[in-house]
Amino acid sequence: MTGKYMPRTVILGVIGSDAHVVGITILEQALSAAGFEVINLGVQTAQDEFVSAAKSHDAEAVLVSSLYGHARQDCEGLHDELDDAGLDVLTYVGGNLAVGQSDFEETQATFQQMGFDRVFDAETDPEEAIEMLREDLQLTTTEAEQIRVDG
């Protein structure tokens, strides 16, 4: 499609048994306003749903949210499933990732060791995450400008 920018597709959802919806609603709105095509899987999303959605929508990123503090257990094996499906996507995780989390750097290191490209705490501004997503997707200046115009 000459002259028309195709929006980048991201998958968004709350993993496992977590039913917190406010964070992903805010993220969905911010990502959409920034020009991304957002597939919001909602809450209590299983790993295979993230994988299936990423594959069927040819997504470039999977954004996992968790606020109830059990993200490590819920995310164990996610990257294996993505690899098994032949998917090479960016993966972000954010929220209140560990019960009693007192050292975010330690939590961040744990999730990076699990394979996540970016790890965010619950206080991260959506615009900060969007800028990192643009950077990680290596959006050209033209694409980033088009996202701002079309978004």
Q: Is 100 annotated to bind ligand?
A: yes
Q: Is 20 annotated to bind ligand?
A: yes
Q: Is 88 annotated to bind ligand?
A: no
Q: Point out the catalytic residue in the list 20, 70, 79, 117.
A: 20
Q: Is 54 annotated to bind ligand?
A: no
Q: Say if CB 12 and CB 133 are below 8 A apart.
A: no
Q: Is 87 annotated to bind ligand?
A: no
Q: Is 67 annotated to bind ligand?
A: yes
- Backbone dihedral angles phi then psi of residue 15, each to the nearest 5 degrees: -85, 150
20 is catalytic: yes
136 is catalytic: no
Q: Is 99 annotated to bind ligand?
A: yes
Q: Say if CB 53 and CB 11 are below 8 A apart.
A: yes
Q: Say if CB 38 and CB 54 are below 8 A apart.
A: no
Rounded CA gap, 78 and 81, in Å? Answer: 5
**Where in the chain does DSSP place strands (E)?**
9-14, 37-40, 61-66, 90-95, 118-121
Q: Is 56 annotated to bind ligand?
A: no
Q: Say if CB 30 and CB 63 are below 8 A apart.
A: no
Q: Is 42 annotated to bind ligand?
A: no
Binding-site positions read 17-21, 65-67, 96-100
Catalytic positions are: 18, 20
Binding-site positions for adenosylcob(III)alamin read 17-21, 65-67, 96-100
